[in-house]
Chain A
């Protein structure tokens, strides 16, 4: 992308790019925030849920499974993986300190990466995605817009709507919101602690699975360490929004994406490789003025 004044075609495409990137970040950050708000755990193995989903698609792709089934099973696999993480790595440590849980999640992340490395391949593998993801459509006669960012944005926003309805309208969802505000009293309502925690992980996994489909479509390859970048971005997004705030995580995801896409579009070519450094500088500036994040928990509605 070259610097300079953008055409309206370019501006529209960049806007959609930012929305699509932001909505993927939002799903990932929301998963992190959901677990954090209930358990006080920053799950750095969250990125490996993306890896699990991506490899599910890769393996099924190799065996000629229809794409629709690949997509559904990727989301289910990430969700199951998240529930298993909780059972195996976090439940035995229930009530342990923040740092203990954090280290456990780091360990889990490394172990899962090495499982893929040992049992699949240490190298990058190409994954053929449906053609529609590589094509563009005409819009208003003059604009050409890529299908991938449009589908990404719509799917991710739909996931957010479904999740919001579940959290706000169902007793189980309200129980999860309640658990993030006062876990003990939520149990006094007769709502099972284990079930709330399991649901938080299952949802965070499913959201990561949905995000993974589009991360994979964008990069076109799988590799064991592919979860690192997404979890890092998700963490930054949730810190921007205010760690533990669900709406903050979504807002943070979009803010981070808009910063990145704007820098991509405006930085001179020779500085472009340092885009992430500039993005983080802006994040630091935001946190300097809003140390608690954009949406602190007391302001959340």
Chain B
């Protein structure tokens, strides 16, 4: 699916605070239907806070978040996922003492229609055949890469229009990282819009259409991924970390 000019997610002047600490300071960004947008920046730049604020896990102190043109600021996380946004959280956070099958089943808890549910299930097992072999195993007993696949699969069970991914390649072996990035491209082809937080700047800019660079809770720069790849802005935002990758 080709990127269109229709915004699926609009973040306007977003502010997130934890007590006196300002994590996100008037950030504005947009994600268009069919795009992969990368959100880059050093640790503590506010990337995760932004994702968590979009899905309602952390309170929004100011600004506006719109999904498909409708404000979702005041909604609970459970209501937001029902609208069509899924977050695969940082650190995977699969349910460790539930089986792979039950993890996936919970991911599809929002899908009322049986046929839709079955289709999502088949799709996920098609993307990650290894999960099919591990259905009865507890989530906590999987390897890191398998857990990441389960975490993404669980998010996809909700058939999201917009998938938010927080550091999906963190701590994974290079070969698994390759698989994850191939998967993201495939998901985009299949019509899922993706907002991606990544430490692996190089890889992220390879697959992204556009990118935003955050520093100290503000947008430092943004633009076409190809242009950013060549620019020095990224280097500054990361203080050199991650660029040589």
Contacts and interface: CB of A to CB of B under 8 A. Distances in A.
Interface residues of B, number: 25
A176 to B, nearest CB: 11
Contacts of A189: 78, 81, 106-107, 109-110, 154, 158
A294 B190 CA distance: 49
A174 B102 contact: yes
Given A171-B105, A171-B106, A171-B109, A187 B77 contact: yes
B96 to A, nearest CB: 6
A151 interface: no
Interface string A174-201: 1101100110111111111100000000
Interface in A216-274: none
Nearest to B85: A188
Given A182-B95, A187-B78, A192-B78, A175 B86 contact: no
A193 B106 contact: no
B43 interface: no
Contact of A301 (B97, B107, B109): B97
A246 to B, nearest CB: 10
Contacts of B241: none
Contacts, number: 66
Contacts of B95: 177-178, 181-182, 185
Interface string A29-47: 0000000000000000000
B78 A177 contact: no
Interface string A81-108: 0000000000000000000000000000
A177 B81 contact: no
Interface string B89-116: 1000101111000100111011000000
Interface string B63-103: 00000000000001110011000110100010111100010
A185 B93 contact: yes
Contacts of B81: 188-190
A185 B105 contact: no
Given A171-B109, A175-B109, A190 B158 contact: yes
Given A174-B98, A181-B96, A181-B98, A188 B105 contact: no
B135 interface: no
Nearest to A172: B109
Contacts of A171: 105-106, 109
A174 B105 CA distance: 9
A181 B106 contact: no
B57 A184 contact: yes
A182 B93 contact: yes
Given A171-B106, A174-B106, A184-B57, A190 B82 contact: yes
Contacts of B36: none
B28 interface: no
B138 interface: yes
* Pairs of residues from A and B, 6 with the lowest C-beta to C-beta distance, nearest first: A190-B110, A187-B77, A190-B81, A189-B106, A178-B95, A181-B95
Given A177-B97, A177-B102, A188-B87, 18 more contacts: A171-B109, A177-B95, A177-B98, A178-B98, A181-B98, A182-B95, A184-B77, A184-B89, A186-B106, A187-B76, A188-B89, A188-B155, A189-B106, A189-B109, A189-B154, A192-B76, A193-B76, A301-B138
